[in-house]
């Protein structure tokens, strides 16, 4: 049941990300809710579940988004795994820690994304990419986590996302 709920969350995030979030973009940048879900899942569930949800979510995003197939899957899987390294090591009840981890994982995930694009001969200037896309998306994702983390954490501990469901 929990797997179905995660799948619905990812699909919902994809829909919201590609429609409604365009109305709250700042300088053309919107939060990556799919990446946020992968990071939060890794942080609360560990490396295996973070990487798995990140991979599945990335594949779904690659399917609906077009572009180079697999790039989102690889970067989101890496971010979920990286966030999972914090499980058991970081204080999960604190939303500021979750936001900081989200900022860090998003930053590295976006860097890997641009590195993979570079490897397939899509050349993007590094400085504009960092300052106009990577840093703003990282900040936006961290702010999004500050807003949604309490609800996600409670749901993971005793709600629909808990292991007991």
Residue 37: count of CB within 10 angstroms of its CB: 24
Question: What is the widest separation between alpha-carbon atoms in the chain?
Answer: 48
Q: Which of 24-33, 54-63, 105-114 has the lowest mean pLDDT?
A: 24-33
State residue 67's pLDDT score.
Answer: 77
What are the structural domain ranges in the chain? Answer: 2-19+28-158
- CATH number at 2-19+28-158: 1.10.1760
Q: Which pTM does this prediction carry?
A: 0.89
State residue 1's pLDDT score.
Answer: 64
pLDDT digits (tens, 9 = 90+) for 127-144: 888 898 899 999 999 999
Q: What is the token pair recorded at 116?
A: 């993979």
Query: Do residues 106 and 79 make contact, with C-beta atoms less than 8 angstroms apart?
Result: yes
pLDDT grade for 43, boundaries at 50, 70 and 90:
very high
Percentage of residues in the chain having pLDDT higher than 90: 41
């Amino acid at each position: 049941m929990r797997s179905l709920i995660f799948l619905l969350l990812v699909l919902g995030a994809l829909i919201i990300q590609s429609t409604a979030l365009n109305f709250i973009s700042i300088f053309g940048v919107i939060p990556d809710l799919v990446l946020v879900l992968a990071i939060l899942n890794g942080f609360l569930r560990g490396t295996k579940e973070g990487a798995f949800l990140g991979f599945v979510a990335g594949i779904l995003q690659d399917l609906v988004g077009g572009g180079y197939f697999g790039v989102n899957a690889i970067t989101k899987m890496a971010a979920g795994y990286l966030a999972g390294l914090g499980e058991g090591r970081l204080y999960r009840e604190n939303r500021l820690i979750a936001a900081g981890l989200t900022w860090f994982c998003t930053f590295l995930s976006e860097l890997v994304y641009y590195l993979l694009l570079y490897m397939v001969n899509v050349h993007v200037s590094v400085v504009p990419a960092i300052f106009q896309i990577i840093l703003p998306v990282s900040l936006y994702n961290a702010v999004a986590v500050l807003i949604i983390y309490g609800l996600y954490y409670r749901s993971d501990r005793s709600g629909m996302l808990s292991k007991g469901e």
